[in-house]
Amino acid sequence: MRSDDDLLDAWRAGDQRAGKQLFTRHYAAIDRFFRNKVGDDCSDLAQKTFLGCLEAVDRYQNEHKFRSWLFAIAYRQLCKHYRERASERARLDFGTVTAHNLDPSPSLVIAQSQEQRLLLEALRQIPVDMQVALELHYWEQMSDAEIARTLELPLGTIKSRIRRGRILLNEQLTALSSSPEQLRSTLANLDDWAAQLRDAALRGLAAKSGGEGMV
């Protein structure tokens, strides 16, 4: 399989099929990034992310992972989307405001169990910055260093954000769970539920031509 950077270099040289393959490879992950945060606007924001990639491709430096760079664009699109919708933009603090506050519509991520639905809702009830860090960790399996590159923050800040996010997530899971058994099952198998949600999202997009029409 050709690396992301190989495909990007070929695309820069005029190979449109390489560009389409690159977008198709990452479309499901970018779509998933938005689905638990912005409801029906997720597809539009995924498209804007890839358009942003197209516009900035000449500024990409190969020493940075393409995936981190792409998620950085997605994160900026998310923040821009929230600010455009907020009535008091100047006071919008992603370290305190939650996705549920900003967009009360249910998550569009497919959940096949009560534990998965509980996890999705609990994530939407913690501050956006912590939700993003945890989802990049659990769903995208990024290292702390990769998350720091993506969000353009010091590594120590990311480690602190993930620690605090886990504490708040556990609090929300406790508050939202319908039974002690459901809570125990969710907490004991957090990595497994996150992996199943990631795989379900991939299967949900398998029939679509992700990124088609973008190149």
Residue 215: inside a domain:
no
Q: What is the mean pLDDT of residues 144-160?
A: 95
Give the per-residue pLDDT at 74: 96
Domain span at residue 183 reads 4-205
The pLDDT assigned to 211 comes to 43
202: confidence class by pLDDT, cuts 50, 70, 90 = low
Domains of the chain: total: 1
214 is a domain residue: no
At 90-104, the pLDDT tens digits run: 578 999 999 999 888
**CB-CB contact of 133 with 155 (8 Å):** no
For residue 178, the Cα-to-chain-centroid distance in whole angstroms is: 27
| CB neighbourhood size of 96 (10 A) | 12
Check if the beta carbon of residue 197 is closer than 8 Å to that of residue 5. Answer: no
On whether residue 213 sits in a domain, the answer given is no
Using only C-alpha atoms, what is the Rg of the chain?
17
Q: Is 211 part of any domain?
A: no
By the 10 Å C-beta count (0-12 exposed, 13-18 middle, 19+ buried), 89 is classed as exposed
Residue 210 belongs to a domain:
no
Q: Looking at the predicted structure, is the pLDDT value of residue 206 above 80? A: no
For residue 127, give the 3-state DSSP assignment.
strand
The confidence score (pLDDT) of residue 204 equals 53
